[in-house]
Structure formats: C-alpha cells, structure tokens
Amino acid sequence: MVAASRVAQGRAMVAYSQRAVEIGTFMAQNMRQLRRVGPPGDLRRDRQIPTTGGHMQRAVSSTAHRWLLVALFVAVLLPLYVVGSVAEDVWRHEGLPWDRPILDFLHRHSSPALDTLMLLFSGIGGPFPMAVFVIALLLVLLLRQRRDEAIFFGVAVVGAMVLNYATKLLFRRARPDLWTVIHPEHGYSFPSGHAMGSMAVALAATILAWPTRWRWPVAALGAAFALLVGVSRIYLGVHYPSDVLAGWLASVAWVTGMQLVRSRLVMSRSGRAKREEQGYGAEIHREQQLPH
C-alpha cells in the first residue's frame, strides 16, 4: 500500500511539473509584451500597445488575460501545491521534519517581554478583533457605494474562515503538547485559523488599496501583521509551523482566486457595455442616414 501510494504520488508530481513547465514556457514567451504593458490593474494610456481601434482593445484584452494566467500560476496553483503536500503529511500523521525543531528553538529563546508581545499579536488576530475590523471596513465600503468591493472583501474573508473550519474538521489534527503554554487553546490545529484569517484580511485589503496611492503602506502593514500573528501562534506553542504555513498559503490561493474571478467579471461587464454602446451608436448613425 505504501509503495503504491508513493508511485501514485510520484506520477501526480510528474504531471504537475509538466503542466508547470508548460505554463512557465508560455509566460517566458510573452514576458516581453507583459513588461511593455504592465498588469491589468495598471493599464495606462501611455503604456498601451501602439495600435488603434479594435486592435488596441484586443491587444490590451490579450495582455490582461496573460497577467491573469501569471497570477493563477504564482498565487493560486503553487500555494495550493504546497498546501496539498503539507496536508498529505498531516493526514498520514507524520507531520513535517522541521515542525519540532522550530518550536523548540522559539521556546528556548522565549522571554517575558516576548511573551507579552506575542500574546498581544495573537489577541489582535483573534476572532473578535478581526470580526470588528471586517464589519467596520464592510460598512465603510457600503457607505461609499462601493458594493462590488464590499462583496469581494466579504466573500474573501468569510470564505477563508469557512474553508478553515471545514479543513479543521476534516484533518482533526491535535495541537502541540510539548510544554505548559501560557495561553492554552482548544480545538483542532490544522490549519491555523489566526494565520488564515490575518492573511485573508491583509491580502484582500491590499487588493482593494492597490489602485490608490496607499497600496504600498497597506501591503507592508498587512504583510507584517499576518507574519507576526502567525509567528505568535508558533511561539506560544499552540500551533505547529506547518499549521501556520498552510493557513497563509491557503488564504493566498483563496483570496487571489476570488480576485481573478472578480477581474474576469469586471472585464466581461466592461466588454458587454462597450458592445452595447457601439451597437447603440451604430443604430443612431443608421437613423441619421435615413431620408427624411
């Protein structure tokens, strides 16, 4: 049974690698044009491909689709592959070889000051503070009539937490029990809900802020927040490092996937509006050409 499982795993990895090579080759072949135009969220008139009319629209649309493929590969497929590899080890009750050494290292270097700091970040990343922040941001978006962005943010964050809860029930991994922790936790360990929730909020907020001048401050603060929340859970001894890593990457894949769906819907809606506008203009032109 073990040998058959190894063979099946090897075949799956070979197939995945072949597909990754195909996507990577496609990306390399089109990278020159991607650098000229930039990502779909940053298409400015002075960076567009020098064509006119319908050729311009088709070129920009083609470039946007290529960037969607890049995002799909880098921020969805690769994280999911790593999460799947970690989940397989957890499912077989083996864990990862670096789980225990990292926990022991952090425990050896613990101190009262670090205890206080890590308890603070663990508390901020907890369910109640995060829920307050999410609700507040949703209300701000709705009051500003940004309904589409509110829907994206809500689906990204709430969906990530539903996925986390379902995964915990599926794997039922026990929490570490290596020493007496200063803040005991109950429930299952894999993946970390704190890590998954903080990363989902940070990434979704960064995506919303990306078209604005606040993109880099929000991205930096969000990354630091998600990192500190995840590390705090390992330091406190209530999660294995693999729990936190899986939570981070699962949220990256989920939130990015929701943004790709949103981008696709926006592009489809924009194209449909342009076609309707062109059809309306052509109809008016025909009416003007009719003899009176």
Buried b (16+ CB within 10 A) or exposed e, 71-81: bbbebbeebbb
At CA 93, angle to CA 91 and CA 98, rounded to 5? 105
Has residue 114 got a pLDDT over 60?
yes
Residues 6+ apart with CB under 8 A from 198: 125, 130, 225, 226, 229, 230
Across the range 281-289, mean pLDDT stands at 57
Across the range 173-191, mean pLDDT stands at 86
pLDDT for res 185 = 85
pLDDT for res 73 = 65
Which tokens sit at 156?
């990204």
Has residue 286 got a pLDDT over 70?
no
Whether residue 217 has a cis bond before it, omega within 30° of 0: no
Per residue in 98-107, pLDDT (tens digit) is 899 999 999 9
Per residue in 24-34, pLDDT (tens digit) is 444 444 444 44
Across the range 226-255, mean pLDDT stands at 94
The four Cα atoms 65, 71, 77, 78 give a dihedral, to 10 degrees, of 150
CA distance 164 to 153: 17
Has residue 221 got a pLDDT over 90?
yes
pLDDT for res 59 = 46
